[in-house]
Chain A
Amino acid sequence: MKKGYVTILTVFFAVAPFLAALVCLGIGRYELTVFETLEAIYDAVSGAPVDATVQSVLFKVRLPRIILALLVGAGLAVAGTSFQSLFSNPLATPDTLGVATGASFGAVIALLLCNNSVVVQLSALGFGLLSLAITCLVSKMNGRSSIIMVVLSGMVVSSIFQALVSLVKYTADTEEKLPAITYWLMGSMSRATTSALLIGAPFIIVGIIILFALRWRLNILSLNEDEAKSLGVNVKKLRVLVMIAATMVTASCVSMCGQVGWVGLLVPHAARMIYGSDNKKLIPAGIGMGATFMIVIDTIARAATSAEIPVSILTALIGAPFFVLLLRKTGGAKL
């Protein structure tokens, strides 16, 4: 790709999340133009009186949702990119270590036992971190764990939690609980409230900051172990740090909006097609592209039809053809 073209895209992805957020704030059954939205934001910030409907629709309902979509999109893209480097495998996803499945089980069991959204969120987060702990324990052989063992253990842990999720669904009351669980598993940003964000967002933000700070080191992590060590990197420490940060992001995303497939694979790949494999560029690009993508998808999810469409259905239905188009256009990532 030509250098000038890449620069234009970079500038675009730097501002795109904010533009998308601004436009999407006004979209929905209660419609506002971009100027009306801007005016409302200006009034709110400057302390001028804001219309009550606008206040509640814009700032109580849509804004938390858009912030959540922004964080989830950016977070899953960064986590996916990091895991791909960590396992030097371009097919790795945020769920490779079984974290998303673990978190899903946590949420599902909480949904079965009670209906408190805070409990659901905390349980999902807790089980997500627990699944990482189990994966690490299982993969440890003779005091050290190889990357292949880590990936294998992730698959095992993931399938165990998947089975447990099925078990919960099987035992759930088909009138009330099962639809709730199924709907939850398909993912939705509609559970975004300020209080949910206050619990979940810090994990995502801290995780993204850590991975952002380590972004150049991720390149070295993708080399083989001897090579990485010989470049003066403390491989063990770096790996653990990346795993914990990426897990925190993934578990927290799942805890707030259920399983959102595809983003963690699609966005990093789209970024790779433009920027190559250098994580120094990929991580910032992933933040911009992931956030924009998720805001747009979520707006379609809530505004396209009168009933809400689950996000994971849209990420696959819109994401997959878009991905094919990109593949055709660029001839694939420079792997």
Chain B
Amino acid sequence: MTFSVKNGCFGYEDRQILHSISFTLQDSEVMTVLGPNGVGKTTLLRCMMGLLKWQKGDTYIDGKTIKELRSAEVWKRIAYVPQSKGTALSYTAREMVLMGRSARLGMFVQPSKKDYEAADEAMERVGITRFAYKQCSQMSGGELQMVLIARALSANPKMLVLDEPESNLDFKNQLIVLDTIQRLSEEEGIGAIVNTHYPAHALKIADKALLLDYAGNSSFGDVESIVNEENMQKAFAVEVKIVDFEYNNKFHKGVIPISIQA
């Protein structure tokens, strides 16, 4: 699947937020969206999935605009993993994951055995089968995030869209989420667009990166060419050093904020 945005623009009456955003992703590619708080990362995700309307430009899936496709067709291909927040009514993990099947079922149709199997399989793929019957309201942030990823996967999408999936998680849970995204891309060919606050995570899992800044500039390209000291400094107004080191025959990169730039 090819997913692209061409010349996407969006803003509210008093403020233009997204200026002429363009990027293209191929099968199984992972792109991270980077930028300071309030720059419009979540807005970008919502626009490109059609949850908000672009003012100019459009989103294309395999060459067709998102408006041409029926909404169920769109949501069979891309699946959204929102920031994990609790709901007032709590469901078990399995009930929650099952909801991911809804794009594949008609309005009055009840989920069948096949859909339950798909939900169970999705939970297995991200390793959360052991708490299938746990209430979402009693889960830790990391567990809930994995449930939401499983819910997205149960629709068998070609691409995931994740909004800051590793925020508010501890080191271990961050790694679980990142490894899952990477593994889905490498082993199952499922691409991803990930909003993140951590440039180091972009370097770890992404092929491509899109960097937004307050001036309204956006740059898109291979992650190595986008996430460098100069660009980070410009976008976040923070002096940044990127270090790399080898450990157990593997290269790791760290992005270290040094000081706030005057």
Q: Which residues of A come within 8 Å of B, CB atoms?
A: 84-85, 88-90, 213-217, 219-220, 222-224, 226-227, 229-234, 237-238, 276-278, 280, 334-335
Contact = CB atoms under 8 A, between A and B. Distances in A.
A334 B137 contact: yes
Contacts, number: 85
Interface residues of B, number: 31
Contact of B82 (A217, A226, A232): A226
A4 to B, nearest CB: 15
Interface in B70-125: 71-72, 74-76, 79-80, 82, 85, 87-92, 95, 99-100, 102-104, 107-108, 110-111
Contact of B135 (A90, A226, A231, A334): A334
Contact of A232 (B51, B95, B102): B102
15 contacts: A217-B102, A219-B91, A226-B51, A226-B82, A227-B82, A229-B71, A232-B74, A232-B155, A233-B102, A234-B71, A276-B90, A277-B91, A278-B91, A280-B111, A335-B89
B108 A213 contact: yes
A231 B108 contact: no
A215 B102 CA distance: 13
Contacts of B88: 88-90, 222, 335
B49 interface: yes
Interface of B: 46, 49, 51, 71-72, 74-76, 79-80, 82, 85, 87-92, 95, 99-100, 102-104, 107-108, 110-111, 135, 137, 155
A167 B197 CA distance: 59
A20 B111 CA distance: 32
B79 A238 contact: no
Nearest to B161: A230
A233 B79 CA distance: 13
Contacts of B74: 232
Contacts of A217: 102, 107
B71 A232 contact: yes
A335 B135 CA distance: 8
Contacts of B75: 230-232
A70 B104 CA distance: 36
Contacts of A90: 88-89
B99 A214 contact: no
B90 A223 contact: no
Contacts of A223: 87, 99
A233 B103 CA distance: 7
A220 B99 contact: yes
Contacts of B76: 232
Given A88-B89, A216-B111, A232-B75, 10 more contacts: A214-B107, A219-B99, A220-B99, A226-B46, A232-B74, A232-B155, A234-B71, A277-B89, A334-B137, A335-B88
B191 to A, nearest CB: 16
A234 B108 CA distance: 12
Nearest to B148: A227
B89 A222 contact: yes
Contacts of A213: 108
A142 B201 CA distance: 40
Contacts of B89: 84-85, 88, 90, 222, 277, 335
A234 B107 contact: yes
Nearest to B71: A232
Nearest to A276: B92
Contacts of A233: 102-103
Closest 9 A/B residue pairs (Cβ): A232-B103, A230-B80, A232-B75, A277-B89, A213-B108, A231-B102, A88-B88, A232-B72, A278-B95
Contacts of A89: 88
A297 B74 CA distance: 50
Nearest to A213: B108
- Which of A230, A237, A238 has the most chain B CB atoms inside 10 A of its CB? A230
A151 to B, nearest CB: 13
A229 B51 contact: yes
Contacts of B49: 230
A279 B185 CA distance: 34
Given A238-B107, A276-B91, A227 B71 contact: no
Nearest to B76: A232
Nearest to B86: A335
A99 B37 CA distance: 44
Nearest to B109: A216
A222 B100 CA distance: 14
Contacts of A232: 71-72, 74-76, 102-104, 155
A334 B108 CA distance: 26
Given A226-B80, A229-B51, A280 B110 contact: yes
Contacts of A278: 91-92, 95
A217 B135 CA distance: 19
Nearest to A223: B87
A223 B95 CA distance: 13
A77 to B, nearest CB: 16
- Which of B49, B85, B90 has the most chain A CB atoms inside 10 A of its CB? B90
A276 B103 contact: no
B103 A335 contact: no
B75 to A, nearest CB: 4
A222 B88 CA distance: 8
